[in-house]
């Protein structure tokens, strides 16, 4: 689900959303933020 979430955000401006996404996902799965940030 996180992968799909990231894929749809690429269509928008992921650079602007990335800080919000990381902040939202950090309490959930810090391990996956590394994949998301790349």
- Once rounded to an integer, what is the mean pLDDT over residues 16-25? 74
- Statement: the pTM of the whole predicted model exceeds 0.95: no
* Alpha-carbon gap, residue 15 to 28, rounded angstroms: 21
Structural domain harbouring 16: 2-37
Mean pLDDT of the chain: 62
pLDDT of 13 reads 65
Contact (Cβ atoms closer than 8 angstroms) between residue 22 and residue 37 = yes
* Alpha-carbon gap, residue 29 to 35, rounded angstroms: 11
Q: What is the pLDDT of residues 22-35, one digit of tens each?
A: 777 667 665 655 55
Number of domains in the chain: 1
The fraction of the chain above a pLDDT of 90, given in percent, is: 0
Q: Is 10 helix (H, G, I), strand (E, B) or coil?
A: helix
Contact (Cβ atoms closer than 8 angstroms) between residue 2 and residue 34 = no
Q: Does the pLDDT of residue 37 top 60, yes or no? A: no
């Amino acid at each position: 689900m996180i992968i799909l979430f990231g894929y749809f955000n690429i269509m928008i401006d992921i650079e602007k959303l990335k800080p919000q996404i990381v902040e939202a996902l950090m309490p959930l799965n810090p391990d996956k933020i590394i994949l998301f940030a790349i």
